Amino acid sequence: MTFLDYAAAPESRALLTLRSEYGLFINGEFVAGGGAPFATISPATEEHLTSIATATEEDIATAVAAARRAYDTVWSRMPARDRGKYLYRIARLVQERSRELAVAESLDNGKPIKESRDVDIPLVAAWFFSYAGWADKLDYAGLGANPRSLGVAAQIIPWNFPLLMLAWKIAPALATGNTVVLKPAETTSLTALLFAEILQQAELPPGVVNIITGAGATGAALVAHEDVDKVAFTGSTEVGRSIARQVAGTSKRLTLELGGKAANIVFDDAPLDEAIEGIVNGIFFNQGQVCCAGSRLLVQENIHDEVIERLQSRLATLRLGDPLDKNTDIGALNSREQLERITELAAVGEAEGAQRWSSVCDIPTTGFWFAPTIFTGVHTSSRIAREEIFGPVLSVLTFRTTAEAIAKANNTPYGLSAGIWSEKGSRVLAVADALRAGVVWANTFNRFDPTSPFGGYKESGYGREGGRHGLAAYLTASGDNAPLRTAAETQGGVQ
Ligand code: ADP
């Protein structure tokens, strides 16, 4: 089969003006960091984009103190509906600057512009709009009348959905009356810093949100700070474990959103055209760098060959290349380190005897790229069936009966998400009920909505983000004996 060639359709970079260096955002202003600055690059071209500051322990102490002051004097005393108004204002500014944010996200992260433009940034605005509406309705959060905020939240986010993960963290924290010190991932700090400019535009009171940049050590020092009341982390299971150890025995509250190895189950009565699109979206969206990616495809044995054939011919149409090109389906991986890990695990898959198929793509000579890949003949015990690859690599297993599908789907240390494809509603509901996963999608995959809770079982973490459930992570029932700084609340009250 031949395909028409697409002319290049790059999105303009003209509306994005980057500074040559970015400081830390503390108390409403950009300030120099005490540590050595580091570069952020485009993973597609390895071009130097800008220089980012590193926060030292002293900088972290300044940021936490600013957040504490803002909590005590302003944010926890402000009428709830006014907090809501700030969130609405932030949401609208995100919409106003959405094209610029999308370009920055694709440049810095490597994801295709059609994803950042049509998925990430619209969801960021949706998250702020949704939680803006909650700010004055906290009595209905399920924690009784007049639930209280916790205080200062330390939030650490990963690089796969940089601005979206920021929204997932900041929107509920602010709506519930907490103040924030957030650390973005070291390879993707850019949109968090543009977001800091938006906070200035919104005239958010200084100190309510502080953004500090740096690598893992900066994150660890933030978690360790004694004046932090709440830690929220999204990232690898390994780092999540170390944070859980660090926080154990302190009064800090913790929520963790970690890895996954989701089963995407296709029954023989599934609408196959839709299922193929769902499988592609499930594992190749954002180059598979998605914690809830449908990375384990469980196909009913009698339709295995047909599914694989259709999948391969669909993958042959995906265009890999410049993330800023509006025709691009598969962008760059976020870092060399990520590319090396995926390459290594794919080699393990081959060594373990699975059959590897990769789509034929022109791989650019600079940057970090990996062609969409499918492994068939994978066993439940294979490493590529058990470990999170976090890349565009699908492991295919088969099953014969519904019971076998459920057993295989649940045979994982993780439990973040799962997908079911079947035309039979009763089967979908019964299987969904039996799956140990925080989110189960039926005849779709990777759908996100601010009103829907998201989170894991087992090694995928604990706590929920999104919807009413997401509020609970930042609130305590008013009768609780939690160790809070309540001076401001007893005077002003979170309304
Ligand atoms: P990934 O493996 O997906 O890169 P990580 O868990 O290493 O994810 O990183 C997620 C976030 O956690 C990043 O912002 C990173 O800087 C931060 N981080 C890494 N190590 C630590 C640590 N020991 N304590 C706190 N934060 C950390």
Does 189 score more than 80 pLDDT?
A: yes
Cα atoms found within 13 Å of the Cα of residue 353, Cβ hemisphere only: 6
Tell me the mean pLDDT in the region 466-486.
78
Instruction: Verify whether ligand 1 is closer than 6 Å to residue 220 (CB atom).
Output: yes
Does 481 score more than 80 pLDDT?
A: no
Which amino acid, residue 404?
E
Q: Which residues of 268-278 are buried (b: 16+ CB within 10 A; e: fewer)?
A: bebebeebbeb
Does 263-442 carry CATH code 3.10.20.30? Answer: no
Reported as a single tens digit per residue, the pLDDT across 464-474 is 999 999 999 99
Residue 388 designated active-site: no
* Ramachandran angles phi, psi of 209, nearest 5°: -130, 130
Contact assessment for residue 219 and residue 35, using Cβ atoms and an 8 Å cutoff: no
Residue 309 Cα to ligand 1 midpoint, Å, equals: 38
Task: Kindly give the number of the ligand 1 atom that is closest to the alpha carbon of 223.
Answer: 25
Which residues are bridge partners to 233 per DSSP?
156, 256
- Catalytic residue, candidates 11, 115, 186, 257: 257
pLDDT of residue 5: 80
Residue 220 Cα to ligand 1 midpoint, Å, equals: 9
Tell me the domain boundaries of the chain.
13-258+460-476, 263-442
pLDDT of residue 231: 98
Instruction: Verify whether ligand 1 is closer than 6 Å to residue 158 (CB atom).
Output: yes
Residue 257 CB partners (closer than 8 Å, separation 6+) = 233, 234, 291, 416, 454, 455, 456, 460, 461, 463, 465
**Distance between CA atoms of 316 and 406, rounded to whole angstroms?**
31
Architecture of domain 13-258+460-476: 3-Layer(aba) Sandwich (3.40)
Does 354 score more than 60 pLDDT?
A: yes
Ligand 1 pocket mutation, candidates 239, 387, 388, criterion most atoms within 8 A of CB: 239
Reported as a single tens digit per residue, the pLDDT across 151-174 is 999 999 999 999 999 999 999 999
Q: What is the band of 480 on the pLDDT scale with cuts at 50, 70, 90? A: low
- Statement: the pTM of the whole predicted model exceeds 0.85: yes
Residue 233 Cα to ligand 1 midpoint, Å, equals: 9
Average pLDDT, the chain: 95
pLDDT of residue 491: 37
Reported as a single tens digit per residue, the pLDDT across 218-244 is 999 999 999 999 999 999 999 999 999
**Distance between CA atoms of 344 and 463, rounded to whole angstroms?**
32
**Nearest residue (CA) to ligand 1, atom 17:** 216
Tell me the mean pLDDT in the region 105-128.
98
Does 39 score more than 90 pLDDT?
A: yes
Does 253 score more than 70 pLDDT?
A: yes
